[in-house]
Chain A
Amino acid sequence: MLALIYFIILGVIAVGAALCVLLSRHPLYGALSLILSMVSLAGIYGLVGSPFLGVVQVMVYAGAIMMLVTFVIMVLNGARDKRTPMFDGVSLFVIPAVIVLAGLVGFALVRAPLAFDSATLPGSVKLTSETLFDMAATGPGYFLLFEIIGVLLLSAMVAAIFLAKKHLGSVVAENREETH
């Protein structure tokens, strides 16, 4: 009963913040609402028994990714463009289509038999790390995926630096351009 009350409170906050993202005019207000939505989702993760995932959600999503988002919005001063409308004519067709899609998926979902398994394991740090770094030959092999994710993040970082750089070239060449 208490879990349901907490779930309803956190869920209402998450959905309300998501609606604020949809309806806010300034991108920075949208980003702050998104952070609120992510933090309440982290609370739901902790509530249903994945506290490690909740902590990762707060640190990586609400911390790192949204820091990047707000930083880019403030650097580019995205509110400077006042001519861009919030919605256009296409939005009138998008919103009913999304509502119909959600109705269909929800209809299929409500009919599915779902129940909590009492034998399920809580996602503690110990369990998660032991499964993630299980290097036995018969194990699940998640550590290989972990290594590949590291390479992916490195390549994404290099790609971002190359894309956002003003001129491709050496530092010396750029300095020479600035002095002329």
Chain B
Amino acid sequence: MELQPMYIQILALVIFAIGLTVAIARRNLFFVLMGVELALNAVNLSFVGFAKTLPAEASVVGQIVPLFSIAVAAAEACVGFAMVIMIFRNKESVDADSYSDMKG
């Protein structure tokens, strides 16, 4: 019994599902952002897993694209937490439902 590429995809799917649940179901705003990070991690794992099933030239793409994905995740976390700091200063609350001021 050897390591199959399917096992990597199943693991990525499980982690993505948990990250999506954290991002949608939790009320605390920190957990919402951390759930997004978890889902992005699972997508990177899926990229690497699929890259190993491709022939030589095409498999390099699977090593490059997660690097850009990680850089975009860094930019997203940077701006996201700056917004959390800004709104927390006004509201004194980390409940995601108290941030619903932008109504038409």
Q: Which residues of A contact B (CB under 8 A)?
A: 1, 3-4, 7, 11, 14-15, 18-19, 21-22, 27, 30-31, 34, 37-38, 41, 44-45, 47-50, 52-53, 56-57, 60-61, 64-65, 68-69, 72-73, 75-76, 78, 81, 83-88, 90-91, 94-95, 98-99, 101-102, 105-106, 109-110, 114-117, 119-121, 123, 127-128, 131-132, 142, 145, 149, 152-153, 156-157, 159-161, 163-164, 166
User: Which B residues lie within 8 Å of A119 (CB)?
Assistant: 55-56
Residues of B within 8 A of A50 (CB): 48, 51, 62-63
**CB-based contact A106/B72 at 8 Å:** no
Tell me how many residues of B have a C-beta within 8 Å of chain A: 75
Residues of A within 8 A of B27 (CB): 84-88
- By secondary structure, the B interface counts as helix
- Inter-chain CA distance A128–B37, complex, in Å, is 24
A166 to chain B, nearest CB (A): 8
